[in-house]
Amino acid sequence: MTSPAPNPADAVLKGARVFVGVMGGIAAYKTAALVSKLAQAGADVTVAMTPGATHFVTPLTFQSLSARPVYTSPWEHIESQDPQHIALASRTDLAVVAPCTADGLARLATGRCDDVVTLILAAIDRRTTPVLLAPAMNTVMWEQPANQRNVSQLAADGFAFIGPEDGWQACRHVGKGRMSEPEAILQRIVQILSQRVSSPRAPLPG
């Protein structure tokens, strides 16, 4: 029987240290599929969740999929030698926040780090380590001038974006605001990591 052809994406992801931040939105259920795909490709995945995120998906779900402890609080010292999570941030090859809520965008844009996700992101040097945001929210929230200012500020600060997409939303409206599908986010991660390997100092794709 012929073996299946190797997946080029797996070669990029194998051994890659990926940090996944999960914020409090219904789209968090999609992030479980993303973490599973990353782990199956051989990535070393570490997940952190805001308090709101734990109301949609349990930490145990992500722990089971990643085979690693899940960070849920800045006061929770999973690694006793790294109480401020600086080492975790330093060894990350790429960070992705999915879903990234309107509140999360606002906190990142103003430099706040009062939950474990934003705390770890604040310790990541975006000059060398890409941070990809996958926004998800109601279409009216997405279009708010304040939210668009935050998006523009974050793009200027060096964050990369994927989505949001048009489509059906949990609020029973149709419009822009859906989080990109796990497959699309995975492809974007592979694209960014490939670019980082070939040219570590190249600008991140917008």
Q: Which residues are catalytic?
A: 171
Q: Could you tell me if 47 and 22 are in contact, meaning their C-beta atoms sit under 8 angstroms apart?
A: yes
Q: How many CB atoms lie within 10 A of CB 153?
A: 15
Task: Assign 95 to helix, strand or coil.
Answer: strand
- Torsion of the alpha carbons at 112, 179, 29 and 55, rounded to the nearest 10: 40
Amino acid letter, 13: L
Q: Which two tokens stand for residue 98?
A: 């999915």
Question: What does the alpha-carbon distance between residue 1 and residue 26 come to, in Å, rounded to a whole number?
Answer: 42
Nearest-angstrom CA–CA distance, 196 and 77: 30
